[in-house]
Amino acid sequence: MIRKFALAAALTVVAGAASAQDCTAITVEDAFDLDESQINVLYDCLQEKMATGYAKEGDEIGTNYRSWAPTASRPAVAGPHGNRLLNTYANDVAAEQYLKFEEEGVEMPVGSILAKESITVSIKKKAARPGPLFIMTKVGLDEAPDTAGWLYAGLQPNGKVMKVKQSFCHDCHAGWEDQDFLGYPVEEVRLGQ
């Protein structure tokens, strides 16, 4: 038993070293076919690069979101957001309510921020790479009357601010009015309170 374990560990180390360059390679034909272990490998491989990239231009959210509450056990594909792998963090103001994943009568407090990392999965190039950090900030109805009090934003993987059309984001998020316009991570990865 002990020998077998040692061998397995040695093989893992070798495999890890050999695949340092191509740890973002994918073999599936469809992003939905990535299994949990493949996703964990991709995330392990990319997460430092992602966090460093989002922080590169000194954006406050891009620099700090990693110290916020994680809301999922790992990134997952929901479909919208370009079939990317998505992983959301909630700031202090948002975390308590968000992590209940309530479906009715939700009203997030003003000051809530959700920042969602994304990994772009290119089936054509057979590789994954960092995607944008998608951001929603609850600013209240006075400041954002057309989008139910939410401000939508994004950072590119290099930390530069993305141009975001509020109506483009909100038209889709409007489908979750009872959840204060939040889509929530797919159920199997949600972290409870």
Judged by the rule CB under 6 A, the positions of this chain that interact with ligand HEC are 76, 78, 80-81, 86, 88, 114, 116, 134-136, 152-154, 164, 168-169, 172-173, 182-186
Closest CA to 175 of 148, 145, 140: 148
The C-alpha atoms of residue 128 and residue 24 are separated, in whole angstroms, by 5
**Nearer residue to ligand HEC within complex by CB, 126 or 176:** 176
Measured from the CB atom, the residue of 45 and 76 that comes closer to ligand HEC is 76
From the CB of 64, what's the least distance to ligand HEC, in Å?
Answer: 15
Alpha-carbon distances of 100 from 103, 106, 107, 187, rounded to whole Å: 9, 10, 12, 12
The distance of closest approach from Cβ of residue 101 to ligand HEC in the complex, given in angstroms and rounded to an integer, is: 9
Nearer to ligand HEC, 39 or 135 (CB): 135
Beta carbon of residue 182, minimum distance to ligand HEC (angstroms, whole number): 4
159, 57 Cβ separation under 8 angstroms:
yes
CB of 52 to ligand HEC, least distance (A): 20
Q: Which residues pair with 150 in a beta bridge?
A: 138
Amino acid at 120: T
